[in-house]
Amino acid sequence: MKGQREIIVARAVREVRDGMYVNLGIGMPTLVAGAIPEGMNVMLQSENGLLGIGPYPYEGEEDPDLINAGKETVTAIRGASFFDSAESFAMIRGGHIDLAILGGMEVAENGDLANWMIPGLMVKGMGGAMDLVSGAKRIVVIMEHVNKHGQSKVRKACTLPLTGSGVVDRLITDLAVFDFTPEGMRLIELQPGVTLDEVRQRTEAAYTVAPELHNGEAAVKGGAIG
């Protein structure tokens, strides 16, 4: 049986298309790189100055000078390029990144994202998240649906400091997939084996249900929630 992260990553990789320039946030989003189908032409960008990230190196073959934004050792694919951080952020701020897949601590029903700090805990910095949510063409957030205390992370309003306001295009959790539209938050897909009741019970945010709601490969009847 797949774990929560495997379920989320397997769904997130379906957001990636051939020819895209993609930025993967630190943590769970980095796992998407290893799930991209063989033969798909995707350029992974890291805000610390690398375009063309390859797979993780084998043990013993790590290069300590070759890291991603999360300070993990990586490899570079053929044709990769290296540049300074200013050039990297110019790519992001200039709208040249097709897709950013980011982790989240909370997402609100209006598309607000909180993913960079928890007050009272040590924070090394905001990284590139604030630039990514304002500069990338499409923002997909991936996270567990509830926190370790069983509280919903899909909220009416974020309680943590915001990374960006109204910036999320799609949210993928271990329970469901939501889109954010001018009409509000919409449930478009259930993860395999998940029911509408489960999502309803674990979601604080108000949302509507797409007329054709997918659960794995099957479509089920949609409706309105709260």
Which tens digits make up the pLDDT trace of 17-53? 999 999 999 889 999 998 999 899 999 999 999 999 9
What is the band of 216 on the pLDDT scale with cuts at 50, 70, 90? low
Which residues belong to the active site?
A: 47
* pLDDT for position 176: 98
Which CATH number is 4-180 given? 3.40.1080.10
| Element (DSSP H or E) covering residue 220 | strand 218-221
**Residues near 63 by beta carbon (within 8 Å), at least 6 away in sequence:** 57, 73, 75
Whole-angstrom Cα distance, residue 202 to residue 208? Answer: 15
Backbone angles phi, psi at 196, to 5 degrees: -60, -40
* pLDDT for position 117: 86
Whole-angstrom Cα distance, residue 103 to residue 46? Answer: 15
Q: Which class for 19: exposed (0-12), middle (13-18), buried (19 or more C-beta within 10 A)? A: exposed
Which tens digits make up the pLDDT trace of 7-17? 999 999 999 99
Parse the chain into domains and list their residue ranges: 4-180
* pLDDT for position 220: 45
* pLDDT for position 221: 44
Which tens digits make up the pLDDT trace of 140-167? 999 999 999 999 999 999 999 999 999 9
Is the pLDDT assigned to residue 224 strictly greater than 50?
Answer: no
Which tens digits make up the pLDDT trace of 72-125? 999 999 999 999 999 999 999 999 999 999 999 999 999 999 999 878 777 777
pTM for the predicted model, two decimal places: 0.92
